[in-house]
Amino acid sequence: MPNVTLENVTDVVIASLGESGAIDDRQREIMTSLIRHLHGFCKDVKLQHGEFLAACDYLARAGQTCSDKRQEFILLGDILGVEVLVDMLTNVVEGPESVSTVLGPFYRDNPPVLPHGASTVQKHFDDEETVYFEGVVRDTAGNPLAGVTLDVWEDAPNGLYENHDPDQPEYNLRGRFETDAEGRYAFRALRPVPYPIPDNETAGELLRFMGHHPNRPGHMHFILSKDGFRPLISQVYDSSSAWLDNDSVFAVKDSLVAEFQKAPDEMHDDLYVKFDFVLKEKAAAASMAAE
Ligand code: BEZ
Ligand code: FE
């Protein structure tokens, strides 16, 4: 073992990685880069020992904050822009396919399966605005796709998701829909409102350390899936919402912003949104990832 100095410590640690066979190429690539960047960061800011101990204590407390209702490390990744970055690296967009964005911590699997045009609303609010959402799902060649599953979920007019609000019924404002033979989906819901991401515990500490706010613009979440196609996790943003230009988790993309228009009288809803999606074929997605 060479004498460890400020100059050689990074190379010494990288040289300690296991022989090929003991670790695979991806493990070596990840660990080499992680060590280089972590050491680079410490040298950059001349990290002091007290700060290192404070960071260890912070991470320990972040772990203790995790439960079946809260994944603190995803939240920390969101606040640092890491989830949106990793999503863009994973779901590269090169053609007409719809853009994905972060999943966030509020998704619940197995929402109520609802028929075309049904409402996800189980509880009404005085200040609610109802919205009719519809659109067509196509493949990248423009053909309508039948049998696409769409999971949708959103916050209530009080800014809370159902699973974080004891006063909302289970699965309120969540639903699972399917496209018809012409690739059309439709459902009724409420206008999503801006809300703060959880800003207590260690997520709040990080936001305050960064001097950043916790707010997100109003959005409807979507997961689209169909065999043979890359699943699409995305969100549709209200073009008139506050925080559209300053999202606390950096997840807004121009092509995901839609106008919540006043609905025509015959619709019986306050607002109307038309939003089409394009799914990428899995074979095309896999061959691009391999390049
Ligand atoms: C959300 O959109 O639900 C969300 C995304 C990232 C962090 C917190 C919430
Ligand atoms: Fe959300």
From the centroid of its chain, how far is CA 230? 16
The pLDDT value recorded for residue 70 is: 86
Would you state the structure tokens that stand for residue 117, as one six-digit string?
Answer: 């045009």
Q: Comparing C-alpha atoms, which of 233, 231, 241 is closest to residue 282? A: 231
Residues 6+ apart with CB under 8 A from 96: 140, 142, 278
- Rounded to the nearest 10 degrees, what angle do helices 49-65 and 201-210 cross at? 140
To the nearest whole number, what is the mean pLDDT of the chain?
95
Q: What are phi and psi of 255, to 5 degrees?
A: -75, -5
Ligand 1 atom 7: residue of nearest CA: 104
Q: What is the dihedral of CA 237, 241, 243, 244, to 10 degrees?
A: 40
The pLDDT value recorded for residue 20 is: 82
Q: Is the CB of 102 under 6 A from ligand 1?
A: yes
Element (H, E) at 9: helix 9-15
Distance, CA of 288 to CA of 205 (rounded, Å): 39
Residue 57's Cβ-count burial label (10 Å; 0-12, 13-18, 19+) is exposed
For the CA of 102, the closest atom of ligand 1 is: 5
Quote helix, strand, coil % in the chain, to nearest 5: 30, 20, 45
Mean pLDDT score, 135-145: 98
The pLDDT value recorded for residue 208 is: 98
- Which tens digit of pLDDT belongs to each residue from 17-45? 998 889 999 999 999 999 999 999 999 99
Contact status, residue 258 vs residue 119, Cβ threshold 8 Å: no
Would you state the structure tokens that stand for residue 193, as one six-digit string?
Answer: 């409102």
- Among 249, 250, 253, 256, name the best residue to mutate to test ligand 1's pocket (greatest count of ligand atoms within 8 A of Cβ): 249
One-letter amino acid at 233 equals I
Mean pLDDT score, 268-284: 93
The pLDDT value recorded for residue 2 is: 85
Q: Is the CB of 76 under 6 A from ligand 1?
A: no
Distance, CA of 165 to CA of 124 (rounded, Å): 14
Would you state the structure tokens that stand for residue 195, as one six-digit string?
Answer: 């809300």
C-alpha dihedral sign at 175, 70, 253, 89: negative
Is the predicted pLDDT of residue 284 greater than 70, yes or no? no
For the CA of 197, the closest atom of ligand 1 is: 8
Would you state the structure tokens that stand for residue 95, as one six-digit string?
Answer: 């053609």
Contact status, residue 110 vs residue 163, Cβ threshold 8 Å: no
Distance, CA of 161 to CA of 107 (rounded, Å): 9
Distance, CA of 78 to CA of 174 (rounded, Å): 22
C-alpha dihedral sign at 245, 150, 76, 190: positive
The pLDDT value recorded for residue 211 is: 98
Mean pLDDT score, 54-69: 95
User: Between vectors from CA 123 to CA 112 and to CA 241, what angle results, nearest 5°?
Assistant: 95
The pLDDT value recorded for residue 191 is: 98
- Among 101, 103, 200, 219, name the best residue to mutate to test ligand 1's pocket (greatest count of ligand atoms within 8 A of Cβ): 103
- Which tens digit of pLDDT belongs to each residue from 160-201? 999 999 999 999 999 999 999 999 999 999 999 999 999 999
Would you state the structure tokens that stand for residue 109, as one six-digit string?
Answer: 């699997």
Is the predicted pLDDT of residue 289 greater than 70, yes or no? no
